[in-house]
Amino acid sequence: MNLPRPLKSSRFESRVFLLLLVAVTLAFGWILVPFFGAVFWGVVMAILFSPLYRKLVPRLKGRRTLAALLTMAVILVIVILPLGLITGALVREGAAVYERIQSGELNFANYFAQVYAVLPHWLTSLLDRAGLGNLAELQEKLTSSLRQISQFVATQALAIGQNTLDVVISFFIMLYLMFFLLRDGVGLSRRIRDAVPLNDAHKRELSAKFATVVRATVKGNVLVAVAQGALGGIAFAFLGIHAALLWAVLMAFLSLLPAVGAGLIWAPVAIYFLVTGAVWKGVVLIGYGVLVIGLVDNVLRPVLVGKDTKMPDYVVLISTLGGMAIFGLNGFVIGPVIAAMFMAVWDLFVVERAEFPEQIEHIVVSHPAERRDSPPPHDRPE
């Protein structure tokens, strides 16, 4: 006789508990926001190098702490140390280029004027109609833009210098989190899967998809970026272009954008060579850019990214661009991961709908008003 009251109480308590669960989860995410980059890359690197850790554990007779430390040492040697050395060299070359711009030795406006002077009449007329024919005005705009870029770079460098402590703290948080995720990641992922209210098959498939996409995206994009940047830097050094390392790093960074990428750097340089008389340099750079640098993007990226993620190239492109537009540099991983999880969840929904159409239809279209209008269980026909 007293059954309805405990049932109502149980529903009320369940709703309060779910509200509390959501609130504390959001609060925990909020306190992690200042160190989002450190936490994100700690998780990514742990996922990326977990196969190495799993191979080391049996060879070290189950000593998981030692295996995690050795994996961390490998990460430091092959990832973090080279990245630090390249960053140092990049800062030096960037400073040298900035000094040449400030002294007037490197004048992009003059380069544009030289290109404009040898353009055919139909093209200059087209530029005039587009409002790009006034060289004095264009030079002023270009100089202003370069000044703003220089000020932005200087401001960012000053901010990094002033926030050195924050950078160091974030770095050690990443390493600290990476260590524990490598050593205890299996148990932690199992607890997370147990807490997710899905059936075991769905949880296994989604977690495997997440790890696969992270590994494929990071390995694929990073390898493509390194290959294109290195090839572009070699070509620039061979052609005698100043600050080849700086341009190589810019090409590597831009190569994170599929299809266009490094061409945003080498194509304008090739055009400048052609219109200023260095025809053989322009032809060589165009041929090298299309057949070598472009081939790396067209061949390696679909194999390394699209093959493992089982996503079409256009989805990889759109998700990468959208992810970087929203999340910055981290978006080249976050974007494809979100796209892959979107496709995986919808695939699971389609499969479930095909196997259990009545249950899915009931979940999708059921409404409290319909349930109130339906007859009680004891009045329904057998």
Do 335 and 323 touch, CB atoms closer than 8 A? yes
Q: Note the pTM of the prediction, 2 decimals.
A: 0.66
Contact present, 296 and 224 (Cβ < 8 Å):
yes
pLDDT at 372: 45
Task: Give the alpha-carbon dihedral of 325, 330, 336, 337, to 10 degrees.
Answer: -130
pLDDT at 244: 80
Q: What letter would DSSP give residue 375?
A: P
Single out the residue of 296, 230, 223, 227 nearest to residue 259, CA to CA. 296
State the pLDDT at residue 119. 66
Greatest alpha-carbon span in the chain: 98
Give the residue from 254, 340, 329, 337 showing the smallest Cα distance to 36.
329
User: How far is residue 272's CA from residue 269's CA, in Å, rounded to a whole number?
Assistant: 5
pLDDT score for 69: 92
Contact assessment for residue 268 and residue 115, using Cβ atoms and an 8 Å cutoff:
no
- Asked whether the beta carbons of 57 and 64 are under 8 A apart, the reply is yes
H-run or E-run covering 21 = helix 4-32
Residue 327, both tokens: 């999340």
How far apart CA 298 and CA 293 sit, in angstroms, is: 9
Q: What is the mean pLDDT of the chain?
A: 75
Measured between alpha carbons, how far is 288 from 215 in angstroms, rounded to an integer? 30
Contact predicate 263/294, CB 8 Å: yes
At 17, phi and psi to the nearest 5?
-65, -40
In the chain, domain spans: 196-357
- CA-to-CA distance for 95 and 211, rounded, in angstroms? 39
Q: Return the pLDDT at 105.
A: 65
Q: Spell out, as residue ranges, where the chain has pLDDT lower than 70.
A: 1-9, 94, 97-98, 100-121, 123-124, 126-164, 257-260, 301-310, 313, 354-382
Q: Count of CB atoms within 10 A of residue 198's CB?
A: 13
